[in-house]
Structure 1
Amino acid sequence: MAYLHIGRSVFDMNFTELGNLVLFNQNNATVWQLFDHPTDSLLVGQTLFPFQKLTSSTSSSNLTPVLYSLTVQADNTLVAYVESHLSLPYFRSYSNVEYVKLENESLLGQKIPIASSSSPQFIRLNLDGHLKAYEWGRSNWNTVAHLMTSDIGDCCYPMVCGNYGICSSNGQCSCPEEAIGNSTFRQINHTQPSLGCEYCNAKISDFGLSKLIDKDQSQVVTTLTGTPSYLAPEWLNSIITEKLDVYSFGVVVLEILCGRKNLDRCQPEEDMHLLKVVEMMRVAVWCLQSDFSKRPSMLVVVKVLEGSVDVESNLDYNVINPVIPRSIAAAGQQEHATGAATTLLFPSALSGSS
């Protein structure tokens, strides 16, 4: 004979085929059963009554409650909450729900695609806030249904993209694009965007090389590489920012408008739609501003091309060529001799004159 913490004596117990542990007194009356105390799961035949909760657990072996809960409220609605200082709902069923019970391969009238009714099955509120149905296969548990996703979609789950992450309409995770000074957001793990983003201070502004620097490094030595005709003027003063790529993009736009590479000085002018050419030239000139702080970001360039943002009106149309050091110019001429397009970009080359 054993005694429960409530002080009631137990003379017998039964562990049912459905997984319910039932304790009986000397009159064979039930004094306690496992099904009355749900944790993170519901088994077949188990009922979640009003004011009871399913609470997600840390892991299958650690039932410590964590962030999410599912409960039937007094107004007969099934609500899933993210637990914080305030309980915030992220799912609500507006149907008349008096209780929740997994029975006859259905939950709240939703058919669960289970291949065989003899297969063990259960539903669980997972660590990520998803309510899933499982069935036992030959050697493991298989997910057979996502019970809330069809109503709220992938992006409405809290923390679906981790801290600071943004979930797009197609379910892809990304970080906020805006930055304050040298501070910005970056993904914790680029191979797993759902882990979220972290707030960081950029150690250097050469974003093309920053990923090659270890976190404990504070300095990096870089050398000038690439095609000189695409290099922004501030390269010569070692002012390295993300606007370098904007300048290079401007050169590419000019090449597209001219219909040739910047080395082909003898190509004749062709007929084009003047208004479209002028607008694209304004975009190119904006990208080619000598003062790098006046160049747009690539995000703004994309919005201009989409027609949602206008080109800046106060532009400096005096686009100048930087004076390239002889060593770089010599390297460019050597590459040109082998067929590479590395000659400096002159105004005459872009205007079409020979």
Structure 2
Amino acid sequence: MRGPWICYCFSLFLILNCYSTSADYPTANLSTTWANTESLPHSVNFTDGSRVRAIVLRGSFGPKFACGFYCNGTCTSYLFSVFIVQTNSASDIILPDSGFPQVVWSANRDHPVSYGAILNLTATGELVLQDVDGSTVWTTNTTGKSVSGLNLTDDGNLVLFDINSSVVWQSFDYPTDCLVPGQILFQGQQLIPSVSSTNWMTQKALFSLQVTDNGLFAYFGSNPPQAYYSRRVSGNDTFTGRRHVRFLNGSLSFFILTAEPSDPDFMIPVPQASSAQYMKLMPDGHLKVFEWQARWLVVADLLDTNLGECNYPLSCGRNAICSGNQQCTCPVPSSPTTDNFRPEFFRAVDNRQPNLGCSEITPLTCNTTQHQTLFPFENVTYFNIIADMEKVDIETCKQACVNNCSCKAAIFQYGSDTLNGDCYLPSELFTMTNADPDVIHRNASAFIKVQFITPPDVTSSDDDSDPARLAIFITTPVSFLLFIPLLGFIIYILDKRRQATQMEEEFLGEVPGMPNRYTSEELRTATENFNKKLGEGGFGAVFEGILEDGSKIAVKCLECLGQVNKSFLAEVQSIGSIHHVNLLTLRGFGAWKSQRFLVYEFMSNGSLDRWIYHGDREHVLEWRCRKKIILDVAKGLAYLHEDCRQKIIHLDIKPQNILLDSDFNAKVSDFGLSKLIDRNQTQVMTTMRGTPGYLAPEWLSSVITEKVDVYSFGIVVLEMLCGRKKFDTSLSEEGWHLLGVLQKCWEQGTLQDMVDKYSEDMQTHSSEVVEMMKVASWCLQYDYTKRPSMSTVVKVLEGVMEVESRLDYNFTDPRMQNAAVVEEEKDMTPLMASVLSGPR
């Protein structure tokens, strides 16, 4: 794919030994240094305030690519970049007023340099950018890779090549916010716009465009990122090449195989180019195509065809509704209160600029959820195209938002069956769209969470002659007389509660063996006023912090827990006294008023689910690493079950509750659902709790033992070995249930077919992986008495024991599978008084 133009470029390089005989100068030799000063041969100031100092330039007479230093505005800082400029027949850069430089790639957007900065192509083949103070700002890291020279190709690709004319480094492998014709955006790469046209920084950029297993997606950088555009392609597991899109003349085309196929999987039309052209992801999320037509013009907005102006996340700013031709308004409830009054919950940030969005009149606070409600807004949709919950009814969607203090709205869109649909639960509310039901062919509703001083009565009644109103009016004098003793009773109850709270707060400091207690001020200081959120869930949010001793922590803010009680304290005391290398350490807690905080050690690599599922993982873990994680989890559970003073059953083992440190050591976390039982108890009765898909069959009888953790462990191990989730509807129907696949493969003797096919290292060790599958199968026995203890699992993993040879591979339990399908995205767990953990 790269051979022809490399050969061409290298030939040019050989021809251009006589530098003065050529009009353009696209190449440079080793040991060449350029200073960002006026002494560079092509230092040009433009009428718009921008400036270029070209060090290499490709071609003459027309819009051509050049590379060098670029600045705009006051020119106090510069980028080392590739840009398009107008040239004459002598390869001089000229100054048409509408032909200002167009930057298509830059090396140091987040670290601009000053006048006098140095660019050096070293004798060892490394391209290094240094600021005036001598600090290294950017480098290609190519020392020792036999680089022979630098070349700027006709396509605008900046290349370092070796003596064999092979690419050692190229700018096309590091795209910024633009693509030029011929350039490829591979899976794993992304376009990220600058913050604005005058601010090149990317740290606060809100948008990105990237290729995934499922197609081309544009994301909005909220927490977590939300997709606002997709062009999907049907997945095919037989393809092992990197998926990519290529900007061709006339299309942006998606390919699955790295080797160029005859036909792309899909094409997004782009106007045929008659001159220089490039596409750019803009700071507002638009993907625009620019072309030189006597001046630079926008010839296409590629995402607009699918989105329209209103479906961009910030078309009207935060908390606003966009309708028609980008008409921006603040939300007004569809239904009035009993007084036929439509209260205001949002006001425009700037009445003269409605596109700046709306602000909450009364901000939501998680410690006053009893004064919150969801107000309906009919025919309102949201830009996010990836639902948080699928195939649920509208009441389930609303309740999920009510139960999650971080949820700002429940946005629901009916599916084809008119009973169930997709549910979106944004934690940050951006632009909503006032949809036309005749256009979208389905009902859409938004239920926005609002804060009251007291909860309202939402109804559509406005009849002043309502008998109930009349009765209230007649009985008002009597009610007033009864109000005085009632007020006294309320004061008495509140005083008793205050005394109880005070006693319980004092009790916190008296319980021996309690972990360290932190004050509100200490935690606010450590977390910078709870500024950096790591995650969130139905129990609250988790924030990163640093204590005074420099150690990193994760602070869980538990909301809606009510008053402290002794059962809660006893469990904190028990969990806080546990110390094991494979259990997450509870460093302390905080408690004041109705708020509860748990302080844990910080785990830099997050939860296991980020690393094991194909398509979602950040990095493909090698077999050795996965095997170590499995052993770590087994040791942690064995300690809980057998080595604690009281046996502790975790009850919610899943990848999200297994955390990884910087060295990928695994620790079991989140004891919020755990059950403490005495050593002489063999089983316990309890209500069903946990996560669908990881629940053992005996949950249906409500009689459980520690073997439910063994079963969940088996599911997690199987997911790690296969690189997929236990229930995945993106596969063919016979492959939805991972246990069903395991049973079928065992019967056919094809267990190796289940090994994670996206990892070469896993395939290399497939025989060992299959042996580990037998360990998982032992843990997944339908009869819990036939499952091993976790200490036995540890011995097997350490090679001390063998796996039981007589295993039952009939894993089918329709009741549990149906529960997994129906409840896949629901939280089945009631909030107990002994809840310790927050987000699941």
Q: TM-score, normalised by structure 2?
A: 0.23
Per the alignment, do residues 168 and 24 of structure 1 end up closer, same or farther by CA in structure 2, a change over 3 Å counting? same
1:133-172 mapped onto 2 (5 Å cutoff): 133-139=289-295, 141-172=296-327
Q: Which residue of 2 aligns with 1:173?
A: 328
Please point out which of 191, 197, 204 is paired with 1:54: 191
- 1:104 maps to 2:255: no
Deviation at 1:181, TM superposition (A): 11
> 1:290-322: per-residue Cα shift (whole Å, max 9, x none)?
xxxxxxxxxxxxxxxxxxx67524289xxxxxx
Q: Which residue of 2 aligns with 1:29?
A: 166
Equivalent position amino acid for 1:113 in 2: P
1:84-103 mapped onto 2 (5 Å cutoff): 84-95=222-233, 98-103=243-248
Contact 1:51 1:74 in 2 (8 A): no
Q: Secondary structure at the match of 1:190?
A: coil
Structure 1 range deviating more: 19-28 or 3-12: 3-12
Structure 1 outlier segments of 4+, above 4 Å: 178-184
Deviation at 1:152, TM superposition (A): 2.5
Higher RCO structure, 1 or 2 (CA under 8 Å, sep 6+)? 1
How far apart, in 1, do the equivalents of 2:180 and 2:230 lie?
22
Q: Which residue of 1 aligns with 2:346?
A: 185
How far apart, in 2, do the equivalents of 1:138 and 1:39 lie?
26
How far apart, in 2, do the equivalents of 1:49 and 1:102 lie?
11
Q: Which residue of 2 aligns with 1:243?
A: none
How far apart, in 1, do the equivalents of 2:347 and 2:289 lie?
34
Please point out which of 463, 474, 488 is paired with 1:312: 463
How far apart, in 1, do the equivalents of 2:352 and 2:292 lie?
31
Contact 2:281 2:288 in 1 (8 A): yes
How far apart, in 2, do the equivalents of 1:14 and 1:150 lie?
38
Q: Secondary structure at the match of 2:305?
A: helix
> 1:86-143: per-residue Cα shift (whole Å, max 9, x none)?
12111111235942111122123233235xx34111111111111111112323x321
Please point out which of 206, 210, 217 is paired with 1:67: 206
Deviation at 1:199, TM superposition (A): 3.6
Deviation at 1:194, TM superposition (A): 1.4
Deviation at 1:147, TM superposition (A): 1.0
Deviation at 1:11, TM superposition (A): 2.1
Q: Secondary structure at the match of 2:192?
A: strand
> 1:19-77: per-residue Cα shift (whole Å, max 9, x none)?
111111233221111111111111111001112111122134514251111111123x1
Q: Secondary structure at the match of 2:227?
A: strand
Q: Which residue of 2 aligns with 1:128?
A: 284
Per the alignment, do residues 105 and 195 of structure 1 end up closer, same or farther by CA in structure 2, a change over 3 Å counting? same
How far apart, in 1, do the equivalents of 2:168 and 2:197 lie?
27
Please point out which of 4, 11, 27 is paired with 2:148: 11
Deviation at 1:168, TM superposition (A): 2.0
How far apart, in 2, do the equivalents of 1:20 and 1:72 lie?
21
How far apart, in 2, do the equivalents of 1:128 and 1:96 lie?
29
Per the alignment, do residues 96 and 45 of structure 1 end up closer, same or farther by CA in structure 2, a change over 3 Å counting? farther
Please point out which of 74, 82, 91 is paired with 2:220: 82
Equivalent position amino acid for 2:269 in 1: K
Contact 2:150 2:159 in 1 (8 A): yes
How far apart, in 2, do the equivalents of 1:138 and 1:198 lie?
44
Task: Give unmatched runs, 5+ long, in structure 1.
Answer: 202-308, 317-354
How far apart, in 2, do the equivalents of 1:110 and 1:188 lie?
37
Give aligned pairs, total: 207
How far apart, in 1, do the equivalents of 2:352 and 2:322 lie?
16
Per the alignment, do residues 23 and 118 of structure 1 end up closer, same or farther by CA in structure 2, a change over 3 Å counting? farther
How far apart, in 2, do the equivalents of 1:121 and 1:57 lie?
20
Per the alignment, do residues 9 and 169 of structure 1 end up closer, same or farther by CA in structure 2, a change over 3 Å counting? same
How far apart, in 2, do the equivalents of 1:129 and 1:81 lie?
9
How far apart, in 2, do the equivalents of 1:9 and 1:15 lie?
18
Q: TM-score, normalised by structure 1?
A: 0.52
Alpha-carbon RMSD across the aligned residues, in angstroms, is 3.2
Q: Secondary structure at the match of 1:163?
A: coil
Contact 2:142 2:169 in 1 (8 A): no
Per the alignment, do residues 137 and 124 of structure 1 end up closer, same or farther by CA in structure 2, a change over 3 Å counting? same
> 1:129-178: per-residue Cα shift (whole Å, max 9, x none)?
11111112323x32111211211222221121112111125431111235
> 1:215-260: per-residue Cα shift (whole Å, max 9, x none)?
xxxxxxxxxxxxxxxxxxxxxxxxxxxxxxxxxxxxxxxxxxxxxx
Q: Which residue of 2 aligns with 1:220?
A: none
Contact 2:316 2:326 in 1 (8 A): no
Task: Give unmatched runs, 5+ long, in structure 2.
Answer: 1-29, 31-121, 127-139, 236-242, 254-266, 363-459, 470-840
Equivalent position amino acid for 2:170 in 1: Q
1:331-350 mapped onto 2 (5 Å cutoff): none
Contact 1:105 1:113 in 2 (8 A): yes
